[in-house]
Each structure stands twice: as C-alpha cells, then as structure tokens.
Amino acid sequence: MNYVVIRHQVANFKDWKEVYDNHAPARTAAGLKEEHVLTNVDHKNEVVLVFSASDLNKAKEFGNSADLRQAMQVAGVTDAPDVYFLTD
C-alpha cells in the first residue's frame, strides 16, 4: 500500500477546510483517498493529512501541480508543506 502524508500550517482551519473539501474531486482524480485529516492538539491551525495512494507517480504529479498550489494559496496555507510519499 502507498501513502502520502502532508503537514502544513493554515491561517484559519475552518476556512482552509472549506477549500480543501471543495478540492476533493482533484484528489480523487489523482488516485488519493483521504484516510485522516488531523490537527495538532496544541496548534489547531497545524494540519496533518494522510492519504492512501493508488499510484505514487500520479500523486507526485498532483503534488507538483499548479492547480494544487493555487488551491493551497486560496485556502490560506501559510508555510511550505512537509510531504512524504510512503510505501509498506
């Protein structure tokens, strides 16, 4: 199984989540399935996302896409995300 784990800060979780939810079709098209959306207990605007990925190459292409960068900007991501492509 393949996974993608992402950690980043957002300006406002509620605003970010609305944009994130609306961007679901793009994630699905990239072969990503949401497993977890987590927030840091001490810093509610730090988000960790866990996805299963049917194809890591497709997931990497999505991760580098202009569409995702634009969605992240609109959503209020405030730092460079940490992204991990994992397999077991």
Q: Summarize pLDDT for 74-86 with one digit per residue, the tens.
A: 999 999 999 999 9
Confidence of residue 2 (pLDDT cuts 50, 70, 90): very high
- What phi, psi does 8 have (nearest 5°)? -160, 165
Please state, in angstroms and rounded to a whole number, the distance separating the CA atoms of residues 13 and 19: 10
**pLDDT over 70 percentage in the chain:** 100
State mean pLDDT over 22-41.
Answer: 97
Q: What is the pLDDT of residue 82?
A: 97
Q: Which domain holds residue 17?
A: 2-87
Number of domains in the chain: 1
Contact 83, 10 (CB under 8 A): no
Q: What is the pLDDT of residue 52?
A: 98
Q: What is the pLDDT of residue 68?
A: 96
CATH label of the domain that carries residue 7: 3.30.70.100
- Residue 59, both tokens: 């997931």
